Chain A
Amino acid sequence: QVQLVQSGSELKKPGASVKVSCKTSGYTFSNYAMNWVRQAPGQGLEWMGWINTYTGNPTYALDFTGRFVFSLDTSVSTAYLQISSLKDEDTAVYYCARGQGPGLPAVLNDYWGQGTLVTVSS
């Protein structure tokens, strides 16, 4: 069965960096897009962008350019989200979510990771 398993919660100080992993199984990793979605405490869902798991090409929403980096390790079917220069307002749950395959909407998410809480606090 399809599974996306994310790394555990993180507590970081402002200015630090964090790398969240999303390990997948149960499907061919490079056949489906991978999206990242943020959810601040008590708030709604915010699409951060997606990465083409075949080419490795990332696309970022405007609010997530500069400090946010999507990457892959296809040898272990894992996607990563790295956030640098962390700010208090980056405190949120970050989800990876599988998109669709070629010819289908990459941003339509059918399977989700369990979420990773990143807390930024001094």
Chain B
Amino acid sequence: EIMMTQSPATLSVSPGERATLSCRASQSVSSNLAWYQQKPGQPPRLLIYGASTRDTGIPARFSGSGSGTEFTLTISSLQSEDFAVYYCQQYNYWPPSTFGPGTKVDVK
């Protein structure tokens, strides 16, 4: 089973600032990595797949990069609606597909 780790656990950012979230896989997952956003009381929302492709309707301020074992989600200028928990998921080797533990982005 591939283990996913995310850092930091919590990221405190001011609105308008840039946020950089990291995700690491225990072995290479190529570019088969997705990012999801989850707000309290809501289901996750797919943001990025293929490590860098934004899903339909996702604002351009969200960008993903990386391949192999190291991945980054960048939010270029945080908006109020972006404060949430972000999860990465690998779908290169499954079953099982595995999620990271999440990074909470909160207001500084």
Q: Which residue of B46, B49, B98 contacts A47 across the interface (Cβ within 8 Å)? A: B98
Residue of B whose beta carbon sits closest to that of A6:
B43
**Chain B: number of interface residues, binned into ranges:** 20 to 34
Q: Which residue of B34, B87, B102 contacts A108 across the interface (Cβ within 8 Å)? A: B34
Contact between A62 and B99, CB atoms less than 8 A apart = no
Contact between A45 and B34, CB atoms less than 8 A apart = no
Q: A44-B87, A45-B87, A108-B34 are in contact. Are A59 and B43 (CB under 8 A)?
A: no
Known contacts A45-B99, A109-B44, then 9 further A-B pairs from the complex at CB < 8 Å, ordered by chain A residue = A45-B38, A45-B102, A49-B95, A97-B44, A105-B32, A108-B89, A109-B34, A109-B46, A112-B45
**B binding-site residues for A, Cβ under 8 Å:** 32, 34, 36, 38, 42-46, 49, 55, 87, 89, 91, 94-102
